Structure 1
Amino acid sequence: MPGPYVVPVHGDADLPQEVDVVVIGGGIIGCSTALELAESGLRVALCEKGGIGKEQSSRNWGWVRISRRDPREVPLMAEALRIWKGLDQRTGRDTGYSRAGIIFTCVDDEQYAQHESWNRNLDGYQLDSRMLSSREFADLLPGSDLKLKGALFTAADGRAEPQKAAPAIAEAARERGAHILTECAVRGIETSGGAISGVVTERGPIRCKSVVLAGGAWSGLFAGNHGIDFPQLKVMNSVLRTMPLEGGPEQAIWHKDFAIRKRQDGGYTIASGHENVVNIVPKSFRYARAFLPALRKEWRSLNFRLGLKFVDEARIPTRWALDEASPFEYNRVLDPVPSKKLSDSALAAARRAFPALLKAEIAQRWAGYIDVTPDAVPVISSIPKVPGFFLASGFSGHGFGIGPAAGRLMADLVLNRTPLVDPHPFRFGRFSDGSKIELISGF
């Protein structure tokens, strides 16, 4: 079965002639941005080349966490935790959100010290997050056979259902007046006097004064067609889900060998705690220098592959005219084949840690492409080169949990109102203004 089942969102039949803002991309970032803009009274069209939430927004682990994030993301994620609490009521729909807590395990003194040091990033936020001793961990999770130095336990963290969240937010945006257009790829932007004047979609043009690009792994390709160089690569993460079972952990847990999250249906989402697949493609060489610091730090967790994917991506046009079909119309949904080896290894490790999982039956496997930046921090920014053009991409595997707050910050920038948090760390210009690009957090 290709990809997880996602709550279906039926797109509008009619294309609006004119709106204030076009949002490109129907993942959780694009949907959250559309909702925020529509609630602020703007006319919004959200254009998605495939279906709402069909790519990484439905394929991630479903963690809503502030713990172990890059410190530059902490203020925005603190706001996201507040937004998630009221999201079901706000949308009138079930996102599966629950504040169940997340645990990062520490196998030795060095890892314990690293987690303890990181936790100081939450000083002043009044969030329930603390270090556990090995005894406290055992008391909290009596069904575990893990032998640990201790753990970082952030009770303020939570979980939600990736297959439900983006659709719920999209439907709420539509109820507030937004146009939700599925199977409607945007081929490109149009400008007048150097500023945004509209977009051209496969179904026709839409006039607008602002465009937000929230295209996930596709954003670099779209931006490049307009001469905007966005350093972005893809990492493939493989996931499996189990049938419902009793006796497993309630909290989401990270260990170097596995990551596990209880699902709303009583099953579990399980993945490797640190290993991902990286396909070597033409852009790997183009951006090699920009990503070198991250590669030096994370190479042990990356499984590099050179194969047909190189040829496939080499064939994708990097330039196209707006009156011809774009690459987005030939590939509606990125649906890579998962790594059975990595997911089987993760399941075996989780079963060793929690014997209750020995009864777990595999229900489904899937994989998704995480779009990453050189510093693993997203871009949530205007693009000065094109007035009225904004970018919200590069969330580097952290987008699901932070999505609702990222959408609000993006809306603040479009509306030129006081931003939710300082947007400086997320500026697009950091890749070209001489700033030191540094990978601070490897997770």
Structure 2
Amino acid sequence: MRNFIILMLLINPLSADGLKTQLNRDLQGVMTKVTDWRHYFHQYPELSNREYKTQESIAEALTEMGLEPNTDFGITGVTAFIRGQNPGPLIALRADIDGLPVTEKLNLPFSSKVKTTYQGNEVGVMHACGHDAHIAVLLGVASFLSRNTDKLNGDILLIFQPAEEGAPEGEEGGAELMLKEGLFEIEKPDAIFGLHVSNFKNGQIWTKPGPIMASAEAFRITVQGKQTHGSRPWSGVDPIIAASDIATTLQTIVSRRLNLLDSQAVVTVGIMKAGTRNNIIPSTAFLEGTIRTFKDSYAAQIRDEIKLIAENVAAAHHAKAVAEFQVYGGYPVTVNDEELANKYSSSLSEAADGDFFEARVPRTGAEDFSFFAKQVPGLFFFLGVNAPGDEDSPTNHSPYFYVDDSALSNGVKAFINLVEDFSTDFNSSN
């Protein structure tokens, strides 16, 4: 019997090793692929619901791994299953894949030169939020797991999700659409994990139990005045003055109308448009902005306040205003399952070699990972991708947002740690 065991170990010396141990051996090779993928997707970004080449490239990579990609969900989404050879849970791993209408100002060998039309304007396209890194990390994870199914307890659902930045106006998209089209009805995951890169210390990881990111929705206010010559403003109704007054008064919602001791909210005007010529007072003006909260009740109150302010401030200028909400849809609060966050913080810390922290307050950014996390227990975490030693790098959505490739190995390790640790605990409790 002893000789038989020795013979089996000689034939398959790694059979007793888990995924983490094997990844340590394979990490350099995995990261070579991750870097190549990241550079390719960074160079060729596409906007939300228009990620056709991105979808094709992801599907091609998965096929080369021996997987069967599915492109039936989310217009340009890609999903695939990795079937483990051992019993265990179904774990979903998610990466978003869309770029932003931002003209890149980094001078990299693989910088984006892509241009497109967005809201009637010619713009550059850039992976200014790091979704290229998310794609590459998850492809790296998929490549590793597909070669180590003998060590995988349970199955993996890979989700490459489009339109996280929001579908174009009048369209559906993103996580919400994928779920609407039945993604979790095929097989419902026992848990879902998601990663986001950001501008902080290289390789550092953080998360937070409970609310980790805000809800978000866009509002639009159209102000109707009366056109007249700029030299005779008394002959018309100036919608620009009314819109300016509305934009200023909106700032009193958070500072004067919500309970400072209880509320966390942001109301920001990001667009103001009106007019075609310097000496013509136009007939209309419009504002567009964002609402961020961590409580649905406050979002409802803010909508009421915006409507009240817009209509009455406009009336004071003899104009009329109409407020619209969720003009591009909306995202709920991203809430981490507290048990997952508390239990698997050690898995994330291990991936970051101890450079990990648990945040005390959530971020006011938003994520449509929130839709997935409303369906199954979810854990969303952040990975710092600044260059080593750089503590002050431009933030996400900046044309200068930079991802240092050396940080991405901790993202791969984080996913593998979560997969192994969660599946081990799942099997122990079932």
TM exceeding 0.5 = no
The TM-score range, normalised by the shorter chain, is under 0.3
The normalised TM-score by structure 1 is 0.26
The normalised TM-score by structure 2 is 0.26
Which structure dedicates a bigger proportion of its chain to helix? 2
When Rg is computed on C-alpha atoms for both structures, the one with the higher figure is 2
